[in-house]
Structure 1
Amino acid sequence: MAMKMVLGIMVASLLVNCFSISEAWKDEPKKIHVGGKVLCQDCTGDWNDWVQGSKPIKGCRVSVTCMDDRGRVMHYASDETDEQGDFDMIVDKNINGKELKPELCSVRLVSSPDNVCNLLTDFAGGRSGVKLTRPSHIFRDLVKYTLGPFFFTTPMCDEPDTTGY
């Protein structure tokens, strides 16, 4: 009898906790954060410099483009990187009365202010764009997608196009 009572209390407690968790998800965050880092990758040094010697670029432009279900642009925004090469954009999930779907958003490199390190690379998808697939952080009212690092490189490191015309 005592075992049934203990088991009943445990089940009731579990159900109450599950209910409160599901109630918390009803109030979904109204914004998503999109962040990452942009670096300069210089191939002129040795292998260790190439792998570990990347330097952040201040003032790089990174964009986020979100489409609707019909393939039309629903939202576009861009941000500049800070001294550490970091960017952080905040996107409203409700735009003109329509629900934005993060999986229909893409983040890509746009430009670099660096006179030498200004060629887009597709390392980590920076040139072609990266879809927002899975948040890196979910906590209370924060949903954040962390991408990259994205890289620019120098003309000396750019691979020539050998595919022809």
Structure 2
Amino acid sequence: MMKIVWSMVLLIAAITLMNVAECWEDAPANGGGEVIHVGGKVLCQDCTEGWNEWVTGQRPIEGCTVSVTCMDDRKRIIYYGRDQTDKAGEFEVTIKKYIHGKQIKPEACFTRLVSSPDPICNIPTDFAGGKSGVKLGRPTMVYRDTIKHVLGPFYYTTPMCDEPDTNDDDNSYGKQKNY
């Protein structure tokens, strides 16, 4: 009888150890030092200027908020981070590659513009995907435990440059909606 009890205890212990090992098999061997850096630049581009000034006259915006959102395999948010641009208009978000034992997959992350403190240049544009969000593709740099994605530049513009939505899908004066 005692042998059966010991056999059951050892069997339960072995199953428990296998489950614990299975949960941690994706954990990095070096203690979690791997990180993903996402960086870029945010600029203001004013369309009211002449062609030469418009093309070469962009200026960095300090204090813009840029976010990075990463999803898991079930399309749930596993990471959300943001950074504000410095005087040069540059931002950088650092993401740990493993969060709660789950690996962040860069291809499931996207970066987008959130807000601009500039009172004149605060309309997000979709140049380089800043307004709708851009997925992280191939890294710009891979070195040891560091992966870096350099995006953009993203642009804000002035309210005079904002193009109205001319799609007839939504709310048109000529059409009547039935509710």
Q: TM-score, normalised by structure 2?
A: 0.75
Q: Could you tell me how far 1:30 is from its partner in structure 2? A: 1.1
- Residue in 2 that maps onto 1:83: 87
Q: In the alignment, which residue of structure 1 is the partner of 2:59?
A: 55
The answer to whether the 8 Å contact 1:29/1:143 transfers is no
Q: What is the match of residue 111 of structure 1?
A: 115
Give me the whole-angstrom Cα distance separating, in 1, the residues matched to 2:125 and 2:148: 24
Contact 2:66 2:111 in 1 (8 A): yes
8 Å Cα contact 1:40-1:57 kept in structure 2: yes
Q: Which structure 1 residue ranges, 4+ long, deviate > 3 Å from structure 2?
A: 26-29
TM-score (norm 1): 0.81
**Number of paired residues?**
140
Aligned mates of 1:80, 1:68 — CA distance in 2: 25
The aligned residue for residue 139 of structure 1 is 143
Q: CA deviation at 1:161?
A: 1.7
Tell me the SS of whatever aligns to 2:164: coil
Report how far residue 105 of structure 1 moved: 0.3
Report whether the alignment pairs 1:95 with 2:99.
yes
CA distance in 1, matches of 2:101, 2:122: 38
Which of the numbers 24, 49, 58 marks the counterpart of 1:45?
Answer: 49
CA distance in 2, matches of 1:29, 1:139: 13
Per-residue deviation, 1:29: 6.1
Instruction: Report the structure number with the largest CA radius of gyration.
Output: 2
Contact kept, 8 Å, 2:39 with 2:90, in 1: the verdict is yes
Task: Kindly provide the amino acid, as one letter, of the partner of residue 155 in structure 2.
Answer: F
**Residues in 2 aligned to 1:48 and 1:161: alpha-carbon distance in whole angstroms:** 27
Give the Cα separation in 1 of the matches to 2:61 and 2:46: 12
Structure 1 residue 142: deviation in Å?
2.0
Q: Deviations over 1:14-60 (max 9, x none)?
A: xxxxxxxxxxxx87961000000000010111111111110000000
Q: Which residue of the other structure, out of 157, 160, 164, is the alignment partner of 1:153?
A: 157
3-state SS of the aligned residue for 2:47? coil
Distance in 2, matches of 1:76 and 1:133, equals 18
Which structure 1 segments of 5+ residues have no match?
A: 1-25
Residues 54-73 of structure 1 correspond to what in structure 2 (within 5 A)?
54-73=58-77
SS of 2:128's equivalent in the other structure is helix
Q: Matches of 1:162 and 1:129 in 2, distance apart?
A: 21
Report sequence identity in percent: 61
Alignment partner of 2:92: what SS? strand
Task: Kindly indicate whether the alpha-carbon contact (under 8 Å) linking 2:33 and 2:96 is maintained by their aligned counterparts in 1.
Answer: no
